[in-house]
């Protein structure tokens, strides 16, 4: 399931944020009204329920002896919550996830190939600024992007 686009919203004092209509429509088309949100990479990752089930299956195969990967699994799965948009298309983001992602008022919801991400506007601006600087300074990165045919 591919999510496309960037949308800016305001998170309300209760921690509710709108999910873009095109994203809700994609989830509904696949008969998945709910989805999963978790913490990762300074933002929140959001996965359709069937994609999340595949992720959990893969993570269940991590050997219990692999200390670093188990730490990742604890972090990634431990932060996960299932959410269902209300009639207005909003979800309630739990305080722990809001805190992790720095979600206070202005948020950016960004489509990705297999998920969508929820960023604080300030963190998103920092992230995109870092990328723009890197792409101009790192010829290797520019080559990797070019190799994608872009």
Q: Residue 25 pLDDT more than 90?
A: no
Region 31-57: mean pLDDT is: 92
pLDDT of residue 17 exceeding 70, the answer is: yes
CATH class of 6-120: alpha beta
Q: What residues pair up with 81 in beta bridges, in sequence order? A: 37
Please state the rounded mean pLDDT for residues 6-29.
Answer: 94
Say how far apart CA 140 and CA 134 lie, in whole Å. Answer: 10
Q: Which residues contact 95 (CB under 8 A, 6 or more apart)?
A: 15
Domains in the chain: boundaries: 6-120
pLDDT at res. 23: 94
pTM, rounded to two decimals: 0.93
Sign of the alpha-carbon torsion through 88, 93, 95, 101: negative
In the prediction, which pLDDT does 31 show? 64
- Residue 57 makes CB contacts below 8 A (sequence gap 6+) with none
Residues 51-109: pLDDT tens digits? Answer: 999 999 999 999 999 999 999 999 999 999 999 999 999 999 999 999 999 999 999 99
Q: Is the pLDDT of residue 34 over 80?
A: yes
Q: Of all residues in the chain, what percent carry a pLDDT higher than 90?
A: 83
- Tell me: pLDDT of 33 over 80: no
Residues in the chain: 150
Mean pLDDT rounded to a whole number for the chain: 94
User: Residue 134: which residues within 8 A CB-CB, separation 6 or more?
Assistant: 141
Q: Are 56 and 126 in contact (CB under 8 A)?
A: no
């Amino acid at each position: 399931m591919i999510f496309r686009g960037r949308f800016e919203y305001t998170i309300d004092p209760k921690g509710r944020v709108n999910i873009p209509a095109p994203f809700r429509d994609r989830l509904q088309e696949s008969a998945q009204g709910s989805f999963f949100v978790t913490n990762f990479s300074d933002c929140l990752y959001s996965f359709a329920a069937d994609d999340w089930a595949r992720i959990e299956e893969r993570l269940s195969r991590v050997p219990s002896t692999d200390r670093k990967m188990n730490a990742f699994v604890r972090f990634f799965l431990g932060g996960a919550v299932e959410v269902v948009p209300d009639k207005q298309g909003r979800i309630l983001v739990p305080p722990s996830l809001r805190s992790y992602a720095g979600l206070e008022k202005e948020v950016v919801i960004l489509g990705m190939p297999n998920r969508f991400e929820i960023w604080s506007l300030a963190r998103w601006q920092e992230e995109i600024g870092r990328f723009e600087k890197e792409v101009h300074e790192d010829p290797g990165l520019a080559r990797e992007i070019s190799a994608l045919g872009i």
